[in-house]
Structure 1
Amino acid sequence: MVVALGSNLAGDYASSEALLEAALAAFPAAGLRVLARSAWWRSAAWPDPAGPEYRNGVALAASAGGPEATLAALLQVEAGFNRRRDARNAPRTLDLDLIAHGRSVIATPGLTLPHPRAHERLFVMGPLAQIAPAWRHPLLGQTAANLAAAATVGLDAEPCGVAQ
């Protein structure tokens, strides 16, 4: 599965990068095993660039559960980092988005897979292309590398570290 991570409020941590590292470290307790992860990328806040700068990345992970159980695990991790969902696109301590779960295609009120806008976002497709350039979008059939090159949102996104 593909999970996008983001933060632009460090909360109790020294930086958003430190918070994101702690979030990845919390995955195993939620039943998620990290297989690979990108570097952290920096980008201006979106849609209001006056907000705090974002750090984003992508992890490839495995879970024994299906898509709904995986989403529940991700929401559990978010809650552990005081994620609040007050307003759409508001600054946040931690945002975990399930981008894809294998080749699953789902459209329910609580879950849409693949993520409906991830392919447009350089701060998602760029990190994904770092660690899995040949990954193919389940509906579009395009690779992460091609989608990163064609992204239309977050074009200022750039890596500020090395993939691990």
Structure 2
Amino acid sequence: MSSQKSDPVGNRDLADAVIVALGTNDKGKFATCEKGLEAALLQLQQAGIKIVARSSWWQSMAWPDPADPPFLNGVAVVETALDPKALMGALSRIEDDLGRVRSRRNAPRTLDLDLIAYGRISGDLDGLYLPHPRARERLFVMGPLAEIAPEWRHPDNGETARDLAARASVGMDAAPVDQGAS
């Protein structure tokens, strides 16, 4: 799939934006981590989840253990007919299909798909917390989001992705990587 960075959300109404974060630090069966993330984007589309815009890939040291392999992360703004719980189910199935094994918390992983926001929904949806409770602190989420939707506003505090990226306190080394990097 080619990068849609050149076609960001632009004038689209971001109040209803559905935002998915992607990450990996274990290439699994893929030649590179980037190829694994690209496969995840393809599976999203095959599941009927339209990619409206996507960021470049960003690399950062693993957290909380920087001795683990570095992470490759990105964000996609998507359109879907699925409700938030059904979308989380689809994201989990894609993780499983692409080899995600859940072991210890924060262990290296072949794929991590997080639902960051679903429009203006805020609160606990039977164990699914929206917006993602820690995303606004993470440069490896807010940086890529600010790249494609800098004026997106956090449902709880109204701050823009651009402002949240500037104040992020986790993953401060996160930065875009050149296309073709692992």
Same fold (TM over 0.5): yes
Pairs within 5 Å for 1:32-111: 32-111=49-128
How far the C-alpha of 1:21 sits from its partner, in A, is 0.5
Q: Which residue of 2 aligns with 1:131?
A: 148
How far the C-alpha of 1:109 sits from its partner, in A, is 4.7
How far the C-alpha of 1:108 sits from its partner, in A, is 3.9
Q: 1:30 aligns with which of 42, 47, 60?
A: 47
Choose 76-85 or 126-135, whichever is displaced more. Answer: 76-85
Q: Deviations over 1:52-100 (max 9, x none)?
A: 0100000000110111111111111111111122111110000000000
Task: Note the aligned Cα RMSD (angstroms).
Answer: 1.0
Alignment partners' CA distance in 2, 1:40 and 1:161: 8
User: What amino acid maps onto 1:125 in structure 2?
Assistant: M
Q: Which residue of 2 aligns with 1:115?
A: 132
**Runs of 4+ with deviation above 3 angstroms:** none
Alignment partners' CA distance in 2, 1:102 and 1:161: 30
Structure 1's unaligned 5+ residue stretches are: none
Q: Which residue of 1 aligns with 2:7?
A: none
Alignment coverage as a number of residue pairs: 162
Query: How high is the TM-score relative to the length of structure 2?
Result: 0.87
Choose 17-26 or 79-88, whichever is displaced more. Answer: 79-88
Alignment partners' CA distance in 1, 2:176 and 2:167: 17
Query: Identity rate of aligned residues, in percent?
Result: 57
